Chain A
Amino acid sequence: MALDNGAKPEAVHDSTLVSKAPSNQVLLVLRLVAFFATAAATIVMALNKETKTIVVATIGSTPINATLTAKFQDTPAFVFFVIANGMASLHNLLMVVVEIWGHKFDYKGLRLAMIAVLDMMTVALASGGDGAATFMAELGKKGNSHARWNKICDKFGTFCDHGAGAIISSFVGLLLLVLITALSIGRLVKPRPATLSPV
C-alpha cells in the first residue's frame, strides 16, 4: 500500500482522462439502468396493495361484505425485498453521483477498491432479497398442499401480477449489478507499461 501512495498521485491527475475512457462511460450507463431497474422494483412492490370485498353471508336479503386487503407488509420476505432493492438503488444512485462529480475525492488511493467492495456487498444483498421474494411468490401462486397452505393468487390477481413485475425488474437489476461488479473489479487492474512482462 505504501507503493500505492507513491504511485497514486499520477492516477489522480489522470483521473479526468480516465473518466472519459469508454469503459467508465459504459459503467455509468449500466449503473443508471440498474438504478432504474431496482428503483422500479422497490416502488412497484412498495405500492403493491389490493383490496377485495367479498360476500361472506347473506342475512335476509342484505349481503354482509368482508373486505380483505393484500399488502406487501403482510409478508416479511416482501418487506426484505423492498428494503434490499431500496438499498441497492440508493447504492447505484450514490455510485452514479460519485462517478460524475466525485473524481477529486480520493481516500489513500482506495476509492476504486471501496467501490468494488461496496458493489459486491450490494450484489449479495440484492440476490438475497430476490431469492426470498421469488419463493414467497411461488408459494402464494401455487400454495403448498403438504403444509395445507392455500394459494392466494386466484383471489388477488393484481397483487400477484404487480409482485411478479417487481421481482422480474429486480432480477434485471441484479444481473446488471453483477456485470457492474465485474467491470469495477476489472478497473482495479492498473494498465501495465509495455516493457514489463505479464505475470
Chain B
Amino acid sequence: MAKVGRLFGLVLRLLALGATMSAAIVMGTSHERASVFAISFEAKYSDIPSFKYFMIANAVVSVYSFLVIFLPAETLLWRLVAAFDMVVTLLLTSSVSAALAVAQVGKDGNVRAGWLPICGQVPKYCNHVTGALGAGFAGLILYAMILLYSVHTVLYPLLD
C-alpha cells in the first residue's frame, strides 16, 4: 500500500515537473518583433516584470520538483518537503495570478488608464504567453494535489 502511495506521489511530481518546466521554457522563449508605423517594436518576456516573476517562479519550482524526485523514501526530510510544498504552491498561485493580470491588460487594454492592448500588434507573442499560462495553471493544480497528498503522507503514520 505504501508502495502504491509512493508511486502515485512520484507520478504527480513528475507531471508537475513537466508542467512547470514547460511553463518556464515557453515563457522564456516568447519573443516577437513587429513594426508599427515604421517603429520596430520588440516584445520579450523580460519587458514585463510580471512575466519575469512567472518564469523565475516556475523555473525554481521545476528545479525543486526535480530534486525531490530523488529523495529516498522514509527519511525525516519528507516533513520538510511537505512544508516546502506549501511554500511552492503559494509561489505558483501568486505567479500565475500576477502573469494573468498583466496578460489580461495586454489583451484587453485598460480604457480608464489609457493603456492600449498590445495583442493586436504581437499576436504570436500573446499566444505564446497564453500557452505558458496554461502550463502554469496545470502545474498549479498538480501542485495543489501534491500538497494535499504529501501532508496526508506525513501525517498518516502519526494519526493513530
Q: Which A residues are closer than 8 A to B by beta carbons?
A: 3-4, 7, 69-71, 74-77, 80, 116-117, 120, 123-125, 127-136, 138-140, 144, 146-150, 152, 178, 181-182, 185, 188-190, 192, 199
Q: Which of B47, B96, B112, B116 has the most CB of A within 10 A?
A: B112
CB neighbors of A among B89-105 (8 A): 89-90, 93-102, 104-105
Number of interface residues of B (CB under 8 A): 41
11 additional A-B residue pairs with CB within 8 Å, beyond A75-B105, A189-B155? A76-B101, A80-B97, A80-B101, A120-B148, A124-B89, A128-B94, A132-B97, A146-B44, A147-B48, A182-B83, A182-B86
Known contacts being A132-B101, A150-B114, is A188 close to B89, with CB within 8 Å?
A: no
Is A123's CB under 8 angstroms from B110's CB? no
Taking chain A's interface residues, is the majority helix, strand, or loop, or is none over half, making it mixed? helix
Can you give 9 contacting A-B residue pairs, CB < 8 Å? A75-B113, A80-B97, A120-B151, A132-B97, A135-B98, A135-B102, A147-B43, A147-B48, A152-B114
Docked Cα-Cα span, A128 to B106, in Å, equals 19
A74 is contacted by which of B113, B157, B158 (Cβ under 8 Å)? B113
Q: Mark B23-54, 1 if CB is under 8 A from A, else 0.
A: 00000000000000000001110011110010
A residues within 8 A CB of B158? 189-190, 192, 199
* Nearest-Cβ distance from residue B4 to partner chain A, whole angstroms: 18
**B113 → chain A closest CB, angstroms:** 5
- Give every chain B residue within 8 A of A190 (Cβ-Cβ): 158-160
* Pick from A4, A75, A181: contact of B110, CB under 8 Å: A75
Q: Which residue of B lies closest to A69 (CB)?
A: B112
- In the assembled complex, how far is the CB of residue B85 from the closest CB belonging to chain A, in whole angstroms? 10
B94 touches A131 (CB 8 A): yes
B118 an interface residue at 8 Å Cβ cutoff? yes
Contact with A along B106-131 (1 / 0, CB 8 A): 10001011111010000000000000
Distance, CA A152 to CA B160, complexed state (A)? 57
Q: Which residue of B lies closest to A129 (CB)?
A: B97
Q: Which of B49, B83, B86 contacts A135 (CB 8 A)?
A: B49
B160 touches A140 (CB 8 A): no
Docked pose: A144 CA to B83 CA in angstroms:
36
Q: Assess A120 versus B147: contact at CB under 8 Å? Given A132-B100, A144-B47.
A: yes
From B102, which residue of chain A is reached at the shortest CB distance?
A135
Q: Report B-chain residues with C-beta under 8 Å of the C-beta of A148.
A: 116, 118
A70 touches B112 (CB 8 A): yes
Q: Report the Cα distance A120→B145, complex, angstroms.
A: 11
A70 to B115, CA, bound (A): 14
Decide if B148 touches A117 in the complex (CB within 8 Å): yes
A188, B155: Cβ atoms under 8 Å? yes
CB distance from B62 to the nearest CB of A (A): 18
Asked if residues A135 and B101 are in contact (CB atoms below 8 Å), the reply is: yes
Given contacts A4-B159, A124-B144, A189-B155, contact A144 B48 (CB under 8 A): yes
Q: Which residues of A contact B116 (CB under 8 A)?
A: 148-149
Asked if A128 and B115 sit within 8 Å, CB to CB, the answer is no
